[in-house]
Amino acid sequence: MAVAKPTTMVLRRRTRAPKRYSEDEDGLGCDDVYCERCGSGGFGSKLLLCDKCDKGYHLFCLRPILVSVPKGSWFCPSCTNIKQPQLFPLVQTKIVDFFRIRRSSESMENQSNIKKRKRACSLAVSKRKRKLLAYNPTEDPQRRLEQMASLATALKASGTEYSDGLTYRPGMALRSANCAALEKGGMQILPKEDIETLNLCKKMMEKGECPPLMVVFDPVEGFTVQADRYIKDLTIITEYVGDVDYLKNRENDDGDSMMTLLHASNPSKSLVICPDKRSNIARFVNGINNFSPDGRKKQNVKCVRYDVNGECRVLLIANRDIRKGERLYYDYNGYEHEYPTEHFV
């Protein structure tokens, strides 16, 4: 994942910044502040102080970990009394309303035609180029409700509205700014047949035929995504979506999920996707630890930016076969190397 964040961490007063630089810089340790989890006062620049009890916690010792110092007030786990997230009701009408699911005989007919067309031509092109695959929804309607309820639980807990497309909000970047031709060095073009596959995935989601994925809460990793059935290599998992804004407007943003959308030759035209207000399941797919061989072995999804009819889009695609029950991971530093993953599990 390409995260557009400055490399210098913003230190807030509650972290006692004068004592949080390295000892080589100011000769001061953190003798009066230590981490409640590991007992160390080291790594002062990553030692947070609770705004209520004033106890310290390393960003990487928290569960789930934090990747940067958050803006505004921060309260430790003891003061917030964090519990398991409240489950979204497993009620069909509530899930239909939350995801704005619509059923149309016309869309079902179009989907059938696309599937037939893909089957008819797949053998002819198999030797020429490998094509992207549409995800295969779970057949059991009840299980699909459970899958969507798990996503709704995560979105509600994070205060995020569901969206399955890029959104352009007042005061942010206009849709006309999303021009793939501005990409520095050029952007790979998504072939026509793969665009049809992507559109098929979108139509299935509109009808409530979601990807076979479950969002689960892990006390170490937080919300994370796992396969609920076997997923083939090159399957489209989802599109990375959210509000589109200029990178220059977000350089001091403390959001930890921003994604590069357009890396323009002119930096003032570079765009990022901000999923903190509106998003889908992509927000909860975790990243690998780039500093660990075992961490790199976990990667089973790749993040790829495409030129889709002249606009930049970001897709998460299986880069190998994924077995049922396996958690999904991709490289947050696929384009740049600014995301601090050294403490990821």
Domain ranges, ordered by start, for the chain: 33-82, 92-100+131-330
pLDDT of residue 218: 84
Q: Which residues does 12 contact at the CB level (< 8 Å), separation at least 6?
A: 69, 71
Q: Which residues does 279 contact at the CB level (< 8 Å), separation at least 6?
A: 155, 160, 161, 162, 163, 241, 242, 257
Q: If you average pLDDT over residues 142-162, what whole number do you get? A: 95
Residue indicated by tokens 């699909």: 144
Confidence bin at 85 (pLDDT 50/70/90) = confident
pLDDT in tens, 49-77: 888 888 888 887 887 677 677 777 778 87
pLDDT of residue 187: 96
pLDDT of residue 155: 96
Confidence bin at 258 (pLDDT 50/70/90) = confident
Across the chain, mean pLDDT equals 80
Instruction: Report the predicted TM-score, pTM, of the whole model to 2 decimal places.
Output: 0.75
Cα 258 to Cα 240: distance, rounded to the nearest angstrom: 10
Task: Classify residue 300 as left (phi > 0), alpha (psi -120 to 50) or beta.
Answer: alpha
pLDDT of residue 31: 54
Cα 324 to Cα 230: distance, rounded to the nearest angstrom: 5
Asked if 33-82 and 92-100+131-330 have one fold, the answer is no
Residue 64: cis peptide before it, omega within 30 degrees of 0: yes
SS3 of residue 311 by DSSP = strand
Architecture per CATH, 33-82: 2-Layer Sandwich (3.30)
Angle CA 41–46–50, to nearest 5: 80
Q: Which CATH superfamily is domain 92-100+131-330 in?
A: SET domain (2.170.270.10)
Tokens coding 98: 């939350």
pLDDT of residue 81: 65
Question: Would you give the DSSP letter of residue 258?
Answer: -
pLDDT in tens, 274-295: 999 999 999 999 888 677 777 6
